[in-house]
């Protein structure tokens, strides 16, 4: 997909974002989209393997390369910086937020895109360490990001336009066999966003999520393996658009939600799913 160049950020300061799960997939696409729109971005990823999971995580090399490419799009040295942190570690997420503030003076958006998947068997047969990894990254990681980032969003002077965003999934509302932990975690993200929207009412800071359908990412490739499918392309036929979605398509919606233009939205989970949930 050819991604259009967005308009640059104007105003007293360039808007600053923190994006988790940034080494690849939707997280990486979001970093690039924000960079195209003139944002400064801290690109956060664990950048290492998880022994509980049977597929490869994003690497430090991918994270550094992503930050370099994104910075080149902004034409400002250091406009996008890589930062290695595990979203399951609250102290690491506080350090990431502190890094963004130290680099650029504040924070305007935090986008919790980090996620993992495991399953392929009924819940009662799923190894407990895999279940824990899915819950701790896909839901706990969003909570840890919110705990660290929202105080920084609220620290901006009024009138504020801070944005806390998360990546949920069509799995939040569909009962997918052999992916019970993943479905539970993503449903939890949607519930969390509703509550944060209520808690942040009147502050100028909003909380929203996107709910992607089958998107061409490593997580979907692993899902195909768990279902013993020859390739992830088989999932595209389940969506009325008749194809897999591109990470950049999800990122474009996240970039809109991160902008001041989304001021009328809070507590929402926006379906960006090619019609999968219909």
pLDDT tens digits along 26-79: 999 999 999 999 999 999 999 999 999 999 999 999 999 999 999 998 877 789
- Residue 2 covered by a domain: no
Residue spans of alpha helices (H) in 18-122: 25-36, 60-74, 90-104
168, 268 contact by CB (below 8 A):
no
Whether 224 maps to a domain, the answer reads yes
- Is it the case that residue 9 has pLDDT exceeding 60? no
Report the distance separating Cα 206 and Cα 208, nearest Å: 7
Q: Tell me the pairing of strands 163-167 and 109-112.
A: parallel
**Structural contact between residues 21 and 113, judged by C-beta atoms closer than 8 angstroms:** yes
3-state helix, strand, coil split of the chain in percent (to 5) is 45, 15, 40
Per-residue pLDDT of 147-172, as tens digits, reads: 999 999 999 999 999 999 999 999 99
Q: Does residue 45 belong to any structural domain of this protein?
A: yes
Give the pLDDT confidence of 220-254 residue by residue, as tens digits: 999 999 999 999 999 999 999 999 999 999 999 99
Q: What is the pTM of this model?
A: 0.95
Mean pLDDT of the chain: 94
pLDDT at 76: 77
Q: Where is 249: in which H helix or E strand?
A: helix 247-258
Count the domains in the chain: 1
Burial class (CB in 10 A: 0-12, 13-18, 19+), 230: exposed
Cα(23)–Cα(64) distance, integer angstroms: 8
Q: Where are the beta strands (DSSP E) in the chain?
A: 16-20, 40-45, 80-84, 109-112, 163-167, 206-212, 268-272
Nearest Cα neighbor of 177 from 228, 133, 217, 137 is: 228
pLDDT for the residue numbered 74: 85
Q: What whole-number distance in Å separates Cα of residue 147 and Cα of residue 185?
A: 17
Q: Is the pLDDT score of 8 beyond 90? A: no
pLDDT at 10 over 80: no
Residue 10 domain flag:
no
Cα(128)–Cα(134) distance, rounded to whole angstroms? 10
Residue 8 maps to a domain: no
Which residues is 211 bridged to in the sheet?
A: 271
Give the model's pLDDT for residue 273.
97
- What confidence tens digit (pLDDT) does each residue in 195-208 have? 999 999 999 999 99
CATH number, position 231? 3.40.50.720
Backbone angles phi, psi at 269, to 5 degrees: -115, 110
On whether residue 3 sits in a domain, the answer given is no
- From residue 185, how far is each of 50, 115, 135 by CA, in Å? 18, 10, 5
Instruction: Classify residue 236 by burial, with Cβ atoms within 10 Å: 0-12, 13-18, 19+.
Output: middle
pLDDT value at residue 7: 40
The pLDDT of residue 2 is above 90? no
Domain that holds residue 141: 16-272
Q: Which active-site residues does the annotation give?
A: 182
Query: Does any domain span residue 99?
Result: yes
pLDDT at 1 over 50: no
**Which residue carries 């595990």 as its tokens?**
86
């Amino acid at each position: 997909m050819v991604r259009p160049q967005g308009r640059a950020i104007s105003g007293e300061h360039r808007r600053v974002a923190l994006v988790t799960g940034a080494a690849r997939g939707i997280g990486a696409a979001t970093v690039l989209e924000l960079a195209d729109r003139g944002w400064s971005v801290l690109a956060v990823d664990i950048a290492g393997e998880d022994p509980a999971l049977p597929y490869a995580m994003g690497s430090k090399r991918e994270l550094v390369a992503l930050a370099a490419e994104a910075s080149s799009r902004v034409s400002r040295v250091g406009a996008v910086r890589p930062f290695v942190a595990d979203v399951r570690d609250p102290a690491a997420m506080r350090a990431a937020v502190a890094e963004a503030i130290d680099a650029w003076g504040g924070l305007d958006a935090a986008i919790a895109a980090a996620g993992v998947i495991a399953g392929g068997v009924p819940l009662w047969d799923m190894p407990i360490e895999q279940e824990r990894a899915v819950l701790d990254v896909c839901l706990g990681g969003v909570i840890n990001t919110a705990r660290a980032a929202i105080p920084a969003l609220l620290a901006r002077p009024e009138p504020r336009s801070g944005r806390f965003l998360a990546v949920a999934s069509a799995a939040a509302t569909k009962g997918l066999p052999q992916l019970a932990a993943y479905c539970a975690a993503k449903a939890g993200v949607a519930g969390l966003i509703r509550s944060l929207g209520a808690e942040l009412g009147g502050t100028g800071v909003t909380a929203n999520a996107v709910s992607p359908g089958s998107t061409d990412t490593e997580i979907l490739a692993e899902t195909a393996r768990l279902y013993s499918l020859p390739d992830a392309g088989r999932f595209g036929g389940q969506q009325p658009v008749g194809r897999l979605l591109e990470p950049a398509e999800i990122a474009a919606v996240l970039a809109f939600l991160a902008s001041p233009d989304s001021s009328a939205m809070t507590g929402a989970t926006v379906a960006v799913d090619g019609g999968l949930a219909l």
